[in-house]
């Protein structure tokens, strides 16, 4: 599957998760853009770096975009953060870990489980790093207020 097709699937999955999460419809394009951008960064880096490193970089992009759009739209950042991070969550790694445990392939279970844990920790670190930036850093994205004498 090409990177573009994967990104389109990430956009679709993110928007679908936004629907399930109860995000207002006007934010679906933002959520899709954020999820797709995160996946593009992740997929683009996977050939050159480890999965946790790619997940960290992609998470940083997702959180930067989430905070930017939250300031722009004057809404909580969790609207974009939770749905935008969805494509990066290592669900397949957790699934394969459980599968290998059930099939008694413990060496593979440990290997895949540890990789899934490292990716999850990278995601958490990316979230923490970007949330440590002051709110003023994102003021550039705020919509300008229309003054009554401008009308």
pTM of the shown model: 0.87
Q: Write out pLDDT tens, residues 19-54.
A: 998 999 999 999 999 999 999 999 999 999 999 999
Q: Write out pLDDT tens, residues 80-124.
A: 999 999 999 999 999 999 999 999 999 999 999 999 999 999 999
Give the model's pLDDT for residue 139.
Answer: 78
Question: Considering only CA atoms, which of 40, 28, 41, 39 is closest in space to residue 69?
Answer: 28
Percentage of residues in the chain with pLDDT exceeding 70? 95
Q: Write out pLDDT tens, residues 50-90.
A: 999 999 999 999 999 999 999 999 999 999 999 999 999 99
Q: For the chain, how big is the Rg over CA atoms in Å?
A: 18
Burial 19-39, CB ≥16 within 10 A → b, else e: eeeebeeebbebbbbbbbbbb
Per DSSP, 146 falls in state P
């Amino acid at each position: 599957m090409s990177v573009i097709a994967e990104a389109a699937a990430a956009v679709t999955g993110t928007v679908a998760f936004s629907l399930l999460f109860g995000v207002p419809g006007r934010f679906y394009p933002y959520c899709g853009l954020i999820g797709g951008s995160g996946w593009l960064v992740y997929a683009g880096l996977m050939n050159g770096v480890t999965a946790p490193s790619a997940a960290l970089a992609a998470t940083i992009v997702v959180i930067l975009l989430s905070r930017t759009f939250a300031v722009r739209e004057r809404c909580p950042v969790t609207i974009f953060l939770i749905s935008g991070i969805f494509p990066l969550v290592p669900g397949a790694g957790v699934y394969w870990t459980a599968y290998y445990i059930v099939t008694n392939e413990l060496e593979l279970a440990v290997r895949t489980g540890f990789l899934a844990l490292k990716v999850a920790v990278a995601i958490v670190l990316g979230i923490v790093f970007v949330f440590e930036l002051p709110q003023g850093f994102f003021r550039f994205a705020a919509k300008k207020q229309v003054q009554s004498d401008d009308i």
